[in-house]
């Protein structure tokens, strides 16, 4: 039996490596060690991850110049400015969609009312069991057409109407 001695420490069989912090060669204790001291580790992380290199940008919402440490990601000067821009954008989209929809519906209703809520080709209305829709004619004006005439016009275009 071999005697164990407490005096002998197991030496690492790993080759020497260069410290990432201060570029000194040392023999690591295991494969996960990359720094020869805690001070080197702290200095490396401060330099690499926490250093603030600032650039100046202009906020698209309020137009103020501001310094940023995130040049590719930070767009607005503050969270309040970002929220303000979002609400303005939402309100603008909602207003444009509502105005466009109301104009479109109003024009369609006016065209159907002008045609007496009947098809301009065959004269049938909703009481006759057809569905009415509105489409553009050659001049860009809206006219009322029933579903039967709309399907038939794909094959032969009628030349009648009011």
pLDDT tier at 155, thresholds 50, 70, 90: very low
Q: What is the DSSP string of 90-145?
A: HHHHHHHHHHHHHHHHHHHHHHHHHTTTS-TTT---GGGT--EEEEE-TTS-EEEE
For 42-93, the pLDDT digits (tens) are 888 877 776 656 677 888 889 888 887 665 678 888 889 999 999 988 888 7
Supply 148's token pair.
Answer: 């039967």
- What b/e sequence results for 2-38 when a residue is b if at least 16 CB atoms lie within 10 Å of its CB, and e otherwise? eeeeeeeeeeeeeeeeebebeeeeeebeeeeeebbee
Give CA–CA dist 56/65, Å, rounded.
6
Mean pLDDT, the chain, integer: 79
pTM metric for this prediction? 0.34
Nearest CA to 76 out of 100, 92, 88, 58 is that of 58
Give the ranges where 34-78 is alpha helix by DSSP (H). Answer: 38-49
- The H or E element spanning position 68 is strand 65-68
Residue 57 structure tokens: 């940008």
Could you tell me the two tokens for 125?
């209305």
Which residue bears the tokens 């049938």?
A: 124
Q: Residue 138 corresponds to which tokens in the numbers above? A: 């050659």
**Is the model's pLDDT at 19 over the cut of 80?**
yes
8 Å CB contact between 92 and 98? no
Confidence tier at 101 by pLDDT (50, 70, 90): low
């Amino acid at each position: 039996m071999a005697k164990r001695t407490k005096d002998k420490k197991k030496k690492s069989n790993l080759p020497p490596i260069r410290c990432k912090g201060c570029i000194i060669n040392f023999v690591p204790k295991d494969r996960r060690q990359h720094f020869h001291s805690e001070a080197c580790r702290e200095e490396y992380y401060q330099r690499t991850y926490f250093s603030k290199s600032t650039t100046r940008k202009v906020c698209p919402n309020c137009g103020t110049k501001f310094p940023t440490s995130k040049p590719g990601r930070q767009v607005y000067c503050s969270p309040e400015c970002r929220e303000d821009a979002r609400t303005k954008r939402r309100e603008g989209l909602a207003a444009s969609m509502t105005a466009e929809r109301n104009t479109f519906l109003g024009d369609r209703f006016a065209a159907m009312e002008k045609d007496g809520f009947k098809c301009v080709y065959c004269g049938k209305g909703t009481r006759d069991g057809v569905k009415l829709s509105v489409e553009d004619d050659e001049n860009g004006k809206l006219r009322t057409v029933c579903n039967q005439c709309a399907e038939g016009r794909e094959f032969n275009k009628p030349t009648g109407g009011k």
